[in-house]
Structure 1
Amino acid sequence: MDGMTDDSVTARSEAAPQDVATSLTTGTLARRLGVSPTTLRSWDHRYGIGPAIRPDGRHRRWAPHDVAVLETMCRLTSAGVPPAEAARAARETAAGASGEDREPAGAPEPAPGAASRAAGPLPLGDVRRECRGLARAAVRLDAPAVEQQLATAVDAHGLVVAWQEVMLPTLHAVGRKWASSGDRYVEVEHLLSWHVSTTLRRFAGPAARCGGASAPGPVVLACMPGEQHTLALEALHAGLSQRGLPTRMFGSAVPAEALTAAVDRLGPAAVVLWAQARSTASLALARRVARTRWGVKGARRSPLVVPCGPGWLGRSDPGMTWPPSLKDALDTLEALYTEGR
């Protein structure tokens, strides 16, 4: 049953009594590992990662050896290893630790390219291996693994590459899966977004102070009125902080009057206006911000308005720079502080 032969079931049923006493039910083990019971059954059926104890031939009981194999399986898939490869490595690791081949007799060979249906593979496409590990951890709601994957990506590749090639593709994949599945993946999107935001703040440098009276003011970062998506703006804030540039982060859905009042008070070198959707990209407000003036007569200045996000595509004025990537935005803004040095 579940893809195992009668010989396999018999072999598994001959487990030691002490293993029965310390074994776990499928539900208990699923909660411990942060996966669904369906995922465990699927791994058993597809890859032979199944329980050694089935006292009555029907109910699974997972012995300590089985738990160790599954813990290795989860760790490897979280690191981006394909499930079939992870299953083989997990069995080999367990066999090496015990000094014997514990792979159950009659276990089916994994189908080429097969993935756990229970894990709900995300539409990632051609991406870095880290994206696949991050996506699997997010779908399992494995918060520690998500946090570790994100930190490792930033450590290994730097903030810009980690954002553009690991975080962003995974976030987009989760968003597409959510959009095509009703509300089934909303918890995955929320968990992943929370940990991405936490990681970006953790890796941001300390807040930088502005220079003297003649130095450029800070970079104001604000979402347009009605715009709730902040993660890309948080990535830009983290990148500016790492470069030691002064910022003022206002976050989501900044009312127009509050935004213009802040610009009047701060005299910023630049104002970044984020719009995820065309419906929130108000060119009238961007022009209003661009007309702001401050300073003494004869030496008045105005901010560089930098519209960011897909909502602005093809909608900004010629004098406004629309950077297509995080690196482009960082380079554009840093130039305001390095020109003339």
Structure 2
Amino acid sequence: MDPTGDLLPTAPPVGGLTTGAVARLLGVAPTTLRSWDRRYGLGPAAREDGRHRRWTAADIAVLRAMCRLTSAGLPPAEAARAVLAGQTPAPAPTPGRASPAPGPLPPGRARRECRGLARAAARLAGPAMDELLTAALDRYGLPAAWDEVIMPVLHAVGRRWESAGERYIEVEHLLSWHVSGALRRVPARSPSPGAGLSLLACVPGETHSLALEALAATLAHQGLPVSMFGAALPVEALVEAVRRTGPNAVVLWAQSPDTADGATVDRVEAIAWGVRGARRRPAVLVAGPGWAGRRPPGARHLSGLARAVDVLAAPVAR
């Protein structure tokens, strides 16, 4: 689906649209349109008084094709050649359509997927991000899409925000929101009989929960019971949740060393339930970069999404 299709009027006003109006319509900067015109010849066919750009419906259709191709990860020069040659991108998988078996991305494909998602995020193009995220998750499966596409783009956006200050934070917030939504759309399977419950929570004070959301979505998709409590769960609430649900494993996420608190791990490890003489305790695991160099003695550290799922699915973890 063309993310700008429902925003395009059936016919531009007589005389065409200005560059600013087309930029707002397509969700790109006016300077981008002028650059495409100057570098690749993707400008309007006619100019008012020989000077001012006026974009017709045919001109806008060309730009829409250009936006689709660049959002899919093609470099602008390659996308422009394809547009001028009349080529169109392959359609993204749709729900219900058979997809190739999920797996690692082919060589070079990850870079293209990352480039497309990063460009859509920089344009604040929410529908395009949804389409690209859904396509990556359907095509490669959640662990591969997370490790090779989503996380690299999140890291790149985070580094850009750190260097650009508050001027780029809107990109990070919007991208995070759409990633979270895409993870929630991953279908869950009925829990496997006898599988143990995994309780996932961020440590108190930790607000970064996307990686934990990815773990929760992967476990649910594989039919493994999971309770996701999200960001900054207070200690007393965490203790109460463990006592009430009796999980086989508790995963505590810390993004920052400032929030990685060994005392919280000790508190959860001490929780016991059941009748006297046959009481159970949860296996407590830590995850996230905040635990580097601060891992509590004896605590197991989960590294990587696929590895975390393997550990939580194994009988020894249950």
TM-score scaled by length of structure 2: 0.85
Q: Tell me how far apart the structure 1 counterparts of residues 247 and 59 of structure 2 sit (CA, whole Å).
A: 60
1:84 to 71, 77, 80: 77
Superposed displacement of residue 299, structure 1? 2.1
Question: Which residue does the alignment assign to 2:307?
Answer: 328
Task: Give distance in 2, aligned partners of 1:41 and 1:171.
Answer: 29
Partner AA of 1:171 in structure 2: L
Per-residue deviation, residues 42-62 of structure 1 (Å, max 9, x unmatched): 222222221222222332111
Contact 1:283 1:316 (8 Å CA) reproduced: yes
CA-based RMSD? 2.3
Partner SS, residue 52 of structure 2: coil
Aligned length: 288
Q: Which residue among 275, 290, 295 is the counterpart of 1:296?
A: 275
Residues 1:41 and 2:41 are matched in the alignment: no
In structure 2, give the amino acid aligned to 1:64: A
Tell me which residue corresponds to 2:141. 158
- Structure 2 vs 1, CA of residues 216 and 303 (structure 1 numbering), >3 Å: closer, same or farther? farther
Q: Identify the range of structure 1 (273-282 vs 179-188) with the bigger mean alpha-carbon deviation.
A: 179-188
Q: Which has the larger radius of gyration?
A: 1
Given the superposition, is the C-alpha separation of residues 205 and 161 from structure 1 closer, same or farther in structure 2, using an over 3 Å criterion?
Answer: same
Change (3 A) 1:204 1:282: farther
Residues 256, 19 of structure 1: CA spacing in aligned structure 2 closer, same or farther, 3 A cutoff? Answer: closer
Q: The residue matched to 1:332 in structure 2 has which SS? A: helix
Q: CA deviation digits over 1:184-220, x for unaligned, max 9?
A: 22221122111111110110405748x6xxx565211
Distance 1:300 1:236 in 2: 28
Alpha-carbon distance in structure 2 between the residues aligned to 1:265 and 1:21 = 67
Which residues of structure 2 form unaligned runs of 5+?
1-10, 88-107
Q: Find the residue that maps to 1:307 and give its secondary structure.
A: strand
Conserved 8 A contact 1:216-1:269: no
Matched, 1:277 2:240: no
Q: Closer, same or farther in 2 for the Cα pair 1:47/1:331, shift >3 Å?
A: same
Find the counterpart in structure 1 of residue 168 from structure 2.
185
Q: Give the deviation of 1:19 after TM superposition.
A: 9.6
Query: Counterparts of 1:82-121 in structure 2 under 5 Å?
Result: 82-93=75-86
2:44 aligns with one of 42, 46, 51: 51
Q: Determine if contact 2:283/2:317 at 8 Å carries over to the other structure.
A: no
Aligned to 2:60, what secondary structure does the other structure show?
helix
The answer on whether the counterparts of 1:23 and 1:64 sit within 8 Å (CA) in structure 2 is yes
Cα separation, 1, equivalents of 2:13 and 2:191: 60
Partner of 1:169: 152
Amino acid at match of 1:42: S
TM-fit CA distance, 1:278: 0.3
C-alpha contact 1:224 1:282 (8 A) present in aligned 2: yes
CA distance 1:329–1:19, change in 2 (3 Å): closer
Distance (whole Å) between structure 1 residues aligned to residue 113 and residue 249 of structure 2: 34
Identity rate, percent = 58
Equivalent residue of 1:330, what SS?
helix
- Which of the residues 239, 245, 254 maps onto 1:260? 239
Q: Is the CA contact (8 Å cut-off) linking 1:20 and 1:53 kept in structure 2?
A: no
Moved more, 284-293 or 52-61: 52-61
Contact 2:17 2:55 in 1 (8 A): yes
Aligned to 1:134: 117
> Match for 1:164: what amino acid?
D
For normalisation by structure 1, the TM-score amounts to 0.79
Residue number in structure 2 paired with 1:21: 14
Deviates more, 1:163-172 or 1:187-196: 187-196
Aligned CA distance change for structure 1 residues 336 and 315 (closer, same or farther; 3 Å): farther
